Amino acid sequence: MSTLLDNVFKALANRHRRRLLVTLAERDPDSHLKVSQATRLAEEDQGQNRIEQELQHTHLPMLDEMELIDWDREEETVSPGPRFYDIRPFIRVLSENRDKLPTSWP
């Protein structure tokens, strides 16, 4: 059984997931993020098609299963899930100390 801390580290282990979660943490809690916006967040490193595939088949399903996001596949939106607020404090601490972290944050 995974602990909260295990889930935090698993969720933040990938740069694309970090960027998505940081973006959600910085937004109004009731807002939705279009999947296309999440793709653009990740495009700096790779091509759009590859990122879309990774998000659709790996990252979004994982975060949705962990209940960190609510992924509406029909509307193609992502919003904070019921467990998002458990990890939000970790994201905030890391974001507030980004100058002390490796350049890969988020």
pLDDT in tens, 4-33: 889 899 999 988 888 889 888 888 777 788
Amino acid at 35: V
Confidence category of residue 45, pLDDT binned at 50, 70, 90? low
Give the domains, in start order, of the chain with CATH numbers.
Answer: 4-98 (1.10.10.10)
3-class secondary structure per residue, 25-75: HHCCCCCCEEHHHHHHHHCCCCCHHHHHHHHHHHHHHHHHHCCCEEEECCC
The whole-chain average pLDDT of the chain stands at: 85
Separation between Cα atoms, residue 38 and residue 15, nearest integer Å:
12
User: Which pTM does this prediction carry?
Assistant: 0.82
pLDDT in tens, 70-91: 999 999 899 999 999 999 999 9
Q: Which two tokens stand for residue 103?
A: 């350049």
What is the CB neighbour count within 10 angstroms for residue 70?
15
